[in-house]
Amino acid sequence: MSGKSFAQITKDVSHALETLRAEVPDTMQGFGAMAKAALQEGAISALNKELIALAIGVASRCDACIGFHVKALIRLGVTREQLMETLAICTYMGGGPTLMYAAEAVRAYEELLPRTARAAA
């Protein structure tokens, strides 16, 4: 595998987020509460909400978003087919630049799947 490591990206960003939690705790607590409420199972399943979040991360070209949401999707049991169909919609809506980040999401899935499965065991 060449290029960036999504495991390393999420590790590095997690470390930086800890600094933010320490230095601006109210902001981070508010963001965490919003994330928890938004991702909560409801009329839309938690898995589908994470697929939407991944799609936005891909469209926004955010490596950390891709890494974190792929990890969450793996924990929720996403199938490769569900992931690929979501990325197909991203590409349809966003064109060539989004296609490049859809490919990055595939790389993240393939890198993180075995790691996340080991961590869950």
Contact 73, 38 (CB under 8 A): no
Domain count, the chain: 1
Query: Is 70 exceeded by the pLDDT of residue 118?
Result: no
- What are the structure tokens assigned to 15, written together? 């470390």
- For the chain, give the percent of residues with pLDDT over 70: 95
Its domain, for residue 37, covers: 6-120
Structural domain includes residue 45:
yes
Q: What is the pLDDT of residues 54-97, one digit of tens each?
A: 999 999 999 999 999 999 999 999 999 999 999 999 999 999 99
Structural domain includes residue 1:
no
CATH code of the domain containing 10: 1.20.1290.10
Can you give the pTM of this predicted structure?
A: 0.88
CA–CA separation, 23 and 49 (whole Å): 29
Structural domain includes residue 99:
yes
Which of the 8 DSSP states describes residue 3?
S
